[in-house]
Amino acid sequence: MGRFISRALRAVTLLMSNPPLFWRRIKSHILRARSGIMQINGINFNIDLKLDFAMRHMYFGLYQFEITDLMKRFLGNGDTFIDVGANIGYISAFGLGFV
């Protein structure tokens, strides 16, 4: 019960201090995600929800959103983008759509 109260207090604090971030984070908990091919910045990316929980965040655009927001601001057509340690390529796909 104490863990629930702690999480609820953190959620309320986030809601009061940063409502857009709150709704961005809660979206993945209340909406349904599906495995399959999705478009990320015009690039086809395969989402497999069984592979990792992080895929759910990728589906809703919540995975590393601070980094992807920076990429939106600073990357443009014709720029060079290198993703060192790309793992499954989500950030790479995101960057590819900008450059």
**First-to-last C-alpha distance (Å) of the chain:** 48
Q: What is the pTM of this model?
A: 0.67
pLDDT 10s digits, 27-84: 767 778 888 898 888 889 898 888 888 888 888 888 888 899 999 999 999 999 998 8
3-class SS letters over the chain: CHHHHHHHHHHHHHHHHCHHHHHHHHHHHHCCCCCEEEEECCEEEEECCCCCCHHHHHHCCCCCHHHHHHHHHHCCCCCCCCCCCCCCCHHHHHHHHHC
